């Protein structure tokens, strides 16, 4: 699946010396704390994405000296053996290099007319001329991927949805329009819009798939941040997506508690909750968004065990796993294996599971085992299904 080609040297995303460090924590969207040979410092992170699966404690980083307020800028992070380019401002420079060298077969022979082309109230990354026709090309840097499937975005993107709709309008006027998803790994064999995270963006891309040329390419990097391997012909399983990208499926809701609580939970009686994090698994055959939003409300009628927790939790975060498959108990089983303990019989009165509520002393999103599990259920699990439907 997918053709792969070695790329010759001659292009670096940055000429400054690269410095290694290890990620400690994220102070805000654009500032991270880094360990550099036992010394703690701070670095500018030019990427507003969530990056949950990448920015785990201890993750290797590549940094460069900065001329700004912070001493360093993050260039890349290590994931699944690949360097992932995190400096989103440089993604268009990478694509320009690939276009000029003719590495992207879909645009072989294309001329770059202009970068940053005004389109209504937005800007499109490239205006190309190819075989006498203009092509408007938008670039999206994709850092979210598993072992088989990559996805975009990793956070809700109203701007991304707007770009899709503006390009679709251009196509409706007889113009050529395309979106290139630059996947920072040559491993994935398929690409999907991340309907778990941003269902509206996914629905928009699926709806306009015939008007807009959607082009995912994978790119791996050498240690000096020169491109090494380009992967093309990455599958976008449109027929599969039409059935899967619906507002139904399972979810994990993470509750944070900063002190002990004793709560009465229906027939279970009194339960003692300790400081830390509890991950609850549930499902909804329809209106999944409404179900997970309900868990964030403090005041509501008590219908399920989990409703008693919402009133006293410090924070609540829900992670949908949208699918037509019944994965609720499989999720509970995997959480049981990686958590510290379970609250017996909680949320599992209608199944044979030991529990659907599990305790973690630190936030699950800061652990590789949890993130690997989430990416498997959201993305890599799909690969066998896609192949079974004859699309892979």
pLDDT in tens, 238-267: 999 988 999 999 999 999 999 998 887 877
SS3 content of the chain, % helix, strand, coil (to 5): 25, 35, 40
pLDDT class of 4 with cuts at 50, 70, 90: confident
**Across residues 339-362, what is the average pLDDT?**
93
- Quote the CA–CA distance of 20 and 168 in Å, as a whole number: 42
| DSSP one-letter string for 55-105 | --TT-EEEEEE-SSSSSEEEEEEEETTEEEE--GGGHHHHHHHHHHTT-SG
Provide the 3-class DSSP secondary structure of residue 30.
Answer: coil
Q: Are strands 149-152 and 190-193 parallel, antiparallel or unpaired?
A: parallel
Q: pLDDT at position 198, please? A: 97
Contact 206, 74 (CB under 8 A): no
What's the token pair of residue 225? 């941040």
Name the more confident of 338 and 345.
338
Q: pLDDT at position 299, please? A: 67
Neighbours of 372 (CB within 10 A): 17
Strand partners, 77: 61, 84
**Across residues 28-56, what is the average pLDDT?**
96
pTM for the whole structure: 0.93
Whether the ω angle into residue 112 lies within 30 degrees of 0, i.e. cis, is no
- Give the residue from 87, 86, 130, 92 showing the smallest Cα distance to 108: 130
Q: pLDDT at position 301, please? A: 63
**Across residues 30-35, what is the average pLDDT?**
98
Q: Is the pLDDT of residue 307 over 80?
A: no
- Quote the CA–CA distance of 1 and 3 in Å, as a whole number: 7
Q: pLDDT at position 80, please? A: 93
Length of the chain: 392
Q: pLDDT at position 349, please? A: 84
Q: Is the pLDDT of residue 297 over 80?
A: no
Most confident by average pLDDT, 3-12, 30-39, 225-234: 30-39
What's the token pair of residue 179? 């979106």
Q: pLDDT at position 15, please? A: 85
Instruction: Show the domains of the chain with their CATH numbers.
Output: 19-79 (2.40.50.580), 88-239 (3.40.1350.60), 249-384 (no CATH)
Provide the 3-class DSSP secondary structure of residue 251.
Answer: strand
Provide the percentage of residues in the chain whose pLDDT is more than 70: 96
**Across residues 25-52, what is the average pLDDT?**
96
**Across residues 320-330, what is the average pLDDT?**
96
- Quote the CA–CA distance of 48 and 109 in Å, as a whole number: 34
* Interacting residues of 188 by C-beta distance below 8 A, sequence separation 6+: 145, 146, 147, 148, 149, 150, 216, 218, 231, 234
- Quote the CA–CA distance of 138 and 229 in Å, as a whole number: 22
Q: pLDDT at position 197, please? A: 97
Q: pLDDT at position 2, please? A: 54
* Interacting residues of 12 by C-beta distance below 8 A, sequence separation 6+: 224, 225, 226
Q: Is the pLDDT of residue 306 over 70?
A: yes
Q: pLDDT at position 308, please? A: 76
**Across residues 154-174, what is the average pLDDT?**
95
Q: pLDDT at position 220, please? A: 94
Q: pLDDT at position 1, please? A: 46
């Amino acid at each position: 699946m997918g053709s792969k080609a070695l790329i010759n040297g001659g292009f670096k995303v940055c000429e400054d010396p690269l410095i290694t460090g290890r990620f400690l924590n994220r102070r805000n969207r654009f500032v991270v704390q880094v360990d550099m040979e036992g010394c703690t410092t701070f670095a500018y992170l030019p990427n507003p994405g969530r990056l949950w699966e990448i920015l785990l404690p201890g993750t290797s980083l590549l940094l460069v000296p900065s001329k700004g307020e912070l001493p360093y800028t993050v260039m890349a992070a290590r994931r699944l053996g690949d360097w992932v380019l995190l400096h989103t401002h440089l993604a268009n420079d990478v694509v320009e290099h690939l276009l000029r060298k003719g590495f992207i077969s879909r645009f072989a022979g294309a001329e770059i007319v202009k970068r940053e082309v005004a389109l209504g109230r937005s800007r499109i990354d490239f205006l190309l001329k190819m075989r006498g026709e203009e092509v408007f090309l938008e670039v999206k840097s994709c850092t979210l991927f598993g072992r088989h499937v990559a996805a975009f975005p990793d956070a809700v993107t109203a701007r991304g949805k707007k770009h899709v709709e503006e390009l679709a309008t251009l196509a409706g006027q007889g113009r050529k329009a395309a979106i290139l998803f630059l996947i920072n790994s040559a491993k994935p064999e398929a690409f999907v819009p991340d309907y778990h995270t941003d269902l509206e963006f996914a629905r928009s891309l699926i709806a306009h798939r015939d008007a807009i040329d959607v082009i995912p390419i994978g790119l791996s990097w050498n240690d000096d941040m020169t491109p090494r391997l380009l992967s093309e012909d990455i599958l976008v399983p449109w027929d599969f997506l039409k059935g899967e990208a619906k507002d139904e499926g399972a979810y994990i809701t993470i509750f944070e508690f900063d002190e002990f609580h004793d709560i009465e939970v229906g027939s279970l009686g009194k339960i003692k909750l300790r400081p830390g994090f509890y991950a609850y698994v549930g499902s909804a055959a329809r209106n999944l968004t409404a179900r997970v939003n309900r868990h964030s409300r403090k005041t509501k009628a008590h219908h399920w065990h989990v409703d008693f927790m919402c009133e006293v939790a410090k924070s609540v975060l829900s992670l949908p796993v949208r699918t037509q498959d019944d994965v609720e108990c499989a999720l509970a089983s995997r959480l049981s294996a990686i958590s510290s303990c379970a609250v017996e019989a909680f949320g599992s009165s209608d199944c044979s599971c030991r529990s659907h509520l599990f305790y973690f002393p630190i936030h699950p999103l800061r652990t590789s085992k949890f993130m690997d599990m989430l990416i498997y259920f959201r993305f890599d699990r799909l690969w066998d299904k896609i192949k079974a439907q004859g699309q892979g």
